[in-house]
């Protein structure tokens, strides 16, 4: 039964299936997955597209796409003024032989208020719509006749060729940002941290029995990233730490990028910057991550590959994940 996917077993055992949130490696390139409060936080505005393919050699690889746009209203290039930002995010995630799909569309709003000349505090929320769907088919334990698998037997799971449910979604977050002005020595030029809380309304999350559903578990996140300019060089170090938890599932990602400026430096306007970066990251008990990025003024591209380190590395067809993130940032 090579084409039996693990989610089928879950359905047979408990009568429901819970789809996890969209998962990406380059979480700093998809700020709205980190916290609604990061909407419009890093630039005047941006359009970002991400695509991820996990376990490409498997019969049915996991595929994820994320698209978001953000725009910040308020004084351009000023950290001492309050600002308001609006954004949107659309996601599509597909996995498994039965085409388990999870899609969402959300509107984000965030506000920032100055704490000092260089620091700002932000808060944000999102209101969205989500859908989960699964196609009938596959091989089920209920089709085992006692001796062998019998495809003519009714699996007794779905009464239609396709099953789907939808739900309203709500979340909020908070953030802190520090942006330093031009200086001539090794210094911290940028630092941002954020908390995010997703699915706080606990929407229904069951395929087969809405009455027995306990609701989608809240996903909460913590994120922190800095940019440290190196003295007498056109380069910087960019460390990052990310943690998220949803019920019993949790994830730690941490690492460091080295950023070399071909044109401009840490304090230049984005349309005056050209840079290359290379990073090494680790997802605790799961994967080692290699990452490369290039920036040409307002256009950025980042690619990464996850090298599986967990027990899944023993299974040839479920190793590795490739991810591409593209972004265009507006001028201040």
Could you tell me the pLDDT band of residue 98, with boundaries at 50, 70 and 90? low
Q: Residue 233: what pLDDT?
A: 81
Q: Of 81-85, 213-217, 224-228, give the lowest mean pLDDT range.
A: 213-217
Higher pLDDT, 137 or 325: 325
Q: Of 87-101, 132-146, 300-314, give the lowest mean pLDDT range.
A: 132-146
pLDDT in tens, 150-173: 777 766 655 544 578 889 999 999
Q: What does the pLDDT average to over 118-135?
A: 91
Pick from 16-25, 194-203, 222-231, 301-310 the range whose average pLDDT is largest. Answer: 194-203
Q: Of 99-103, 109-113, 160-164, 275-279, give the lowest mean pLDDT range.
A: 160-164
Could you tell me the pLDDT band of residue 183, with boundaries at 50, 70 and 90? low
Q: Residue 86: what pLDDT?
A: 96
Q: Of 33-37, 49-53, 136-140, 293-297, give the lowest mean pLDDT range.
A: 136-140
Decide if pLDDT at 290 tops 60.
yes
Q: Residue 264: what pLDDT?
A: 85
Backbone angles phi, psi at 195, to 5 degrees: -120, 140
Angle at 65 between CA 36 and CA 70, to 5 degrees: 35
CB proximity list for 264: less than 8 A, separation 6 or greater? 234, 272, 273, 274, 275
């Amino acid at each position: 039964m090579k084409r039996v996917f693990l989610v089928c077993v879950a359905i047979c055992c408990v009568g429901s299936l819970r789809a996890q949130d969209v998962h990406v490696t380059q979480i700093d390139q998809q700020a709205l997955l980190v916290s609604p409060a990061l909407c419009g936080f890093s630039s005047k505005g941006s359009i970002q597209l991400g695509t991820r393919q996990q376990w490409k050699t498997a019969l049915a690889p996991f595929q994820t796409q994320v698209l978001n746009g953000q725009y910040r209203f308020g004084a351009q290039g000023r950290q001492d003024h309050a600002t308001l930002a609006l954004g949107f995010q659309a996601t599509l995630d597909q996995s498994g032989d039965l085409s388990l799909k999870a899609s969402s569309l959300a509107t984000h709003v965030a506000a920032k208020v100055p704490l000092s000349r260089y620091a700002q505090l932000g808060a944000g929320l999102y209101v969205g719509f989500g859908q989960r769907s699964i196609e009938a088919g596959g091989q089920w334990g209920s089709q085992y006749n006692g001796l062998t698998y019998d495809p003519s037997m009714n699996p007794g799971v779905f009464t239609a060729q396709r099953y789907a449910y939808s739900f309203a979604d709500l979340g909020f977050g908070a953030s802190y940002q520090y942006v330093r002005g031009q200086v001539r020595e090794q210094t911290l030029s940028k630092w941002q941290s954020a908390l995010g809380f997703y699915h706080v309304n606990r929407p229904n999350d069951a395929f087969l029995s809405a009455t027995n559903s306990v609701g989608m578990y809240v996903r909460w996140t913590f994120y922190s990233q800095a940019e440290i300019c190196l003295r007498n060089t056109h380069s910087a170090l960019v460390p990052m730490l990310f943690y998220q938890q949803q019920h019993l599932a949790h994830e730690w990602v941490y690492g460091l990028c080295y950023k070399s400026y071909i044109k401009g430096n840490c304090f230049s306007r984005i349309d005056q910057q050209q840079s290359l970066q290379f990073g090494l990251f680790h997802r605790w008990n799961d994967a080692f991550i290699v990452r490369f990025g290039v920036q040409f003024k307002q256009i950025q591209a980042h690619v990464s590959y996850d090298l599986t380190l967990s027990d899944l590395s023993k299974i040839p067809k479920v190793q590795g994940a490739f991810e591409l993130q593209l972004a265009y940032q507006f001028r201040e």
